[in-house]
């Protein structure tokens, strides 16, 4: 059986796909930004093309120039009818689907009948006087006009439904972004009340001891730290250099309380200073180390912050020489190293997990492991991003994630720790 398809002609699926691509390109070029203007351009252009097609078809079939006048009348009729149909469809399109289909078919049938009557009248009056179509001839005219108006109806609904879907998608995307932004702002503003209480208590003690210079210095550092934490960049990202400075402010405040018992070291590679990460990401980790490694020990503990680039990854480790997992609330019965300490730091560590999930989706790791020879090491593995390449936290490239998710081909926390100590 011979195929009816013309070689090289697009299939209906390909035609629909091309139409969708064309509409998407027009939308991106703001063609539909003014819907009224876009409608009149498409309406006028479409019916002008219809007139040219009919006129050229008549001339090609040796029907003479006399055929042009009824073609103009038919085109003007179709133009006017579709304006009335558009006014009706504009009210129907917001109804339930069953009413949309039913009313659209009724309007289409009535418009096709009226269109056919006027077309036959124009043909019989101006081109072939006395011609009266009967039976199949009149039915053919109705079917032809029904096809034309049906195609116009399909385009009208297709374009409008596409625009409605695009608007809803954009609206939902904006709502999602606003929700993520609000959640990130909330997470950023979660400061451990124990830290503020201890700091203010230390300042009060220094004032009572008349050590006003130390109290003033501690108060200045606290103000600088709070300013950084509350007035950070809107997207919640900071460079490694900014994060390190904020962390040093925090440690200077805590060092007023612990003095020589708190020993810190920063090992930050020069090539990662401009790398971007969520602001105040490391402070809860260091606070956790102070609580479980420095506070219980008379000799204190060492805290080492290491930041370096490994390929296209930014690897951050915070290690201490405290009791390790066994000496924290996470060490008692915790099934994996990704569990966090309970108590005063539970909110802070959960905050880190949520912010990493919001910012990087599945493309991150957050793990806790035993340090060697003793203590705890926290590993954060995120994509390496700079000011030019970083996307806003809470952007579109997110996915649901559980902390500690292993990215294929990346080393474990223990392997990184071993590499850092050799």
Does residue 211 sit in the same domain as residue 172?
A: no
Does residue 221 sit in the same domain as residue 331?
A: yes
How far is residue 337's CA from residue 326's CA, in Å, rounded to a whole number? 11
Report yes or no: 404 and 352 within 8 Å, Cβ to Cβ.
no
CATH number for the domain spanning 275: value is 3.30.565.10
Domain boundary, last residue among 182, 210, 238: 182
Alpha-carbon radius of gyration of the chain: 36
Q: Residue 140 falls within a domain, yes or no?
A: yes
Does residue 247 sit in the same domain as residue 378?
A: yes
pLDDT tens digit sequence for 304-322: 999 999 999 999 999 999 8
Q: Residue 344 falls within a domain, yes or no?
A: yes
pLDDT tens digit sequence for 220-243: 888 888 777 766 554 578 899 988
Does residue 140 sit in the same domain as residue 217?
A: no
In degrees to the nearest 10, what's the CA dihedral of 75, 80, 83, 87?
A: -150
Mean pLDDT of 95-114: 91
Domain count within the chain: 2
Q: Residue 148 falls within a domain, yes or no?
A: yes
DSSP state letter for 60: H
User: How many other CB atoms sit within 10 Å of the CB of residue 157?
Assistant: 15
Q: Residue 9 falls within a domain, yes or no?
A: no
Does residue 121 sit in the same domain as residue 143?
A: yes
Mean pLDDT of 343-350: 58
How far is residue 218's CA from residue 202's CA, in Å, rounded to a whole number? 9
Does residue 78 sit in the same domain as residue 219?
A: no
Q: Residue 6 falls within a domain, yes or no?
A: no
Domain boundary, last residue among 147, 182, 217: 182
Does residue 118 sit in the same domain as residue 170?
A: yes
Does residue 154 sit in the same domain as residue 23?
A: yes
pLDDT tens digit sequence for 267-305: 999 999 999 998 888 888 998 899 889 988 888 999 999
DSSP state letter for 220: H
Does residue 193 sit in the same domain as residue 95?
A: no
Which helix (H) or strand (E) segment holds residue 286: the answer is: helix 283-289
For residue 321, the enclosing domain spans 189-394+401-421
Residue % of the chain over a pLDDT of 70: 70
CA angle 215, 221, 224 (to 5 degrees): 140
Q: Residue 5 falls within a domain, yes or no?
A: no
pLDDT tens digit sequence for 36-51: 888 899 899 999 998 8
Q: Residue 4 falls within a domain, yes or no?
A: no
Q: Which pLDDT band holds residue 359 (cuts at 50, 70, 90)? A: confident
Does residue 217 sit in the same domain as residue 253?
A: yes
pLDDT tops 50 at residue 390: no
Domain boundary, last residue among 126, 148, 182: 182
């Amino acid at each position: 059986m011979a195929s009816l398809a013309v070689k090289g002609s697009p299939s209906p699926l390909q035609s629909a796909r091309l139409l969708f691509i064309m509409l998407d390109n027009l939308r991106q070029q703001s063609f539909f930004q003014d819907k009224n203007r876009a409608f009149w351009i498409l309406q006028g252009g479409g019916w002008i093309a219809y007139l040219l097609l009919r006129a050229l078809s008549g001339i090609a079939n040796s029907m003479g120039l006399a055929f042009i006048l009824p073609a103009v009348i038919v085109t003007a009729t179709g133009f006017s009818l579709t304006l009335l149909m558009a006014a009706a469809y504009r009210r129907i399109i917001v109804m339930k689907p069953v009413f949309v289909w039913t009313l659209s078919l009724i309007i289409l049938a009535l418009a096709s009948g009226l269109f056919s009557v006027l077309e036959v009248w124009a043909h019989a009056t101006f081109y072939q006087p006395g011609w009266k179509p009967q039976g199949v001839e009149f039915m053919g005219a109705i079917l032809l006009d029904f096809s034309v108006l049906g195609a116009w109806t399909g385009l009208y609904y297709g374009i409008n439904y596409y625009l409605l879907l695009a608007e809803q998608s954009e609206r939902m995307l904006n709502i999602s972004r606003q929700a993520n932004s609000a959640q990130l702002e909330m997470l950023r503003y979660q400061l451990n009340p124990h830290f503020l209480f201890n700091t203010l208590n230390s300042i009060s003690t220094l004032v009572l001891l008349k050590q006003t210079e130390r109290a003033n210095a501690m108060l200045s550092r606290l103000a600088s730290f709070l300013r950084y934490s509350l007035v950070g960049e809107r997207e919640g990202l900071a460079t490694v250099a900014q994060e390190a400075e904020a962390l040093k402010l925090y440690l200077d405040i805590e060092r007023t309380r612990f003095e020589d018992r708190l020993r810190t070291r920063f090992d930050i590679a020069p090539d990662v200073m401009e790398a971007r990460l969520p602001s105040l990401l490391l402070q809860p980790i260091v606070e956790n180390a102070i609580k479980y490694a420095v506070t219980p020990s008379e000799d204190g503990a060492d805290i080492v912050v290491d930041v370096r680039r490994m390929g296209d990854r930014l690897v951050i480790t915070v290690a201490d020489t405290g009791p390790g997992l066994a000496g924290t609330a996470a060490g008692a019965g915790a099934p994996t190293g990704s569990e966090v300490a309970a108590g005063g730091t539970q909110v802070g560590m959960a905050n880190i997990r949520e912010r990493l999930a919001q910012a990087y989706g599945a493309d991150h790791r957050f793990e806790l492991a035993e340090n060697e020879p003793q203590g705890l090491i926290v590993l954060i593995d995120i994509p390496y991003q700079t000011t030019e390449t970083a996307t806003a936290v809470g952007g579109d490239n997110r996915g649901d994630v559980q902390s500690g998710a292993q990215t294929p081909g990346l080393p474990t926390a223990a392997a990184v720790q071993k590499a850092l100590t050799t």
